[in-house]
Every structure is written in C-alpha cells, then in structure tokens.
Amino acid sequence: MEKLNNTMGNNSNSTKNWMDKYFEPYFYRSMRISILAVAGTYLMALILFMKGIVKTWFLLTNINEYIDLKRLKIEIISIADMFIFGLAMMILAFGIYKLFVGKVKPVDQSKTPVWLQNINDFGALKIIIAKIVILVLILLFLELIIENFQRFQSSSLYELLIIPAGVLLIAFALKIIEKVK
C-alpha cells in the first residue's frame, strides 16, 4: 500500500511540475490577450467622444434652428450623456489594462487620477462603472421627462416613477455593495 501511495504521490508531483513548468506560464501570459478588450473599449470611447464633438459642433453652428427650448435641452443632455458614456468606456479600458495587462505608468505619478489609483480589483472597477451607469440613467430619465412632459402630466404617477425607482434601487444596491467591501 505504501508503494502505491508513493507512486501516486510521484505522479501527482510530476503533473504539478509539468503544470508549473509548461502550462501556468503560458496561461498567465495569455491574460495579456485582454489587450484586445482594452483596445476595443478604448476605441469605443474615442468614437463616443468624436460623435459628441461633432454633435456639439453641429449644435453650435445650427443654434438658430433650436427655437424650441425643449429640443435644445434634449440635445444638450444627449451630448452630455455621450461624453459621460465615453468616459465610462475609457475608465473601463484603463481598469482592464491595469488589472490584466500591466501597470499604468504615467509620466508624472502625482497626476495619476484618483479613480485609477482606486482600481485594485475587479470589484472596484465594477463599482466605478456602476456609478457611471447610475449617472447615465439619471440623464436618460431627465431627457425622457423633458421629451414627454405633456404626456406624463396626463398619465398615472406609477408610470412616471418607473425610471427613478429603478435608479434608486440600483443606487441602493451599490451602497450595500460598497458597505460589504
């Protein structure tokens, strides 16, 4: 029986040695493939920024067409929403890079943004993104209220409270998650 245990132990050790020597280094290096996620997310952020800049330029050059104040407010909120969502994509790209690819090394360490310093694990990154999602939902609600104000005056109170109730529930869940950490 002792011989059998020794044989199994040796076999287990050789498997572990093989894993340590051949599999784990390549598996660990394959995490760097997440650079594709970083590049894609960063590209989405740049596209959102460019679209926001183009919409801002169009708004400024055609300001005379916005006689209706309601339409102007909706367009401004839409542009702000685009920039905020672009920032969320950029934060996500930096967070994925920092967690999976390598350390972000700014030229001047004192200029490292606080949000980037706080991303030490995937949970912290998710909380930052969740906060941005809440902000985007609030802007969406504001845009919806401005766009449909007349209709909401004649509709039921329950219909009016669906989006803010959802935002409140998400914010409450986020607060619970932060306290658990």
What is the domain partition of the chain in residue ranges?
35-180
The model's pTM is 0.68
pLDDT digits (tens, 9 = 90+) for 84-116: 999 989 988 988 888 888 776 766 666 767 777
- For the range 30-39, what are the long-range contacts, defined as Cβ-Cβ under 8 Å and sequence gap of 24 or more? 31/100, 31/101, 32/100, 32/101, 34/96, 34/100, 34/101, 35/97, 35/101, 37/96, 38/93, 38/96, 38/97, 38/101, 39/93
pLDDT at residue number 108: 61
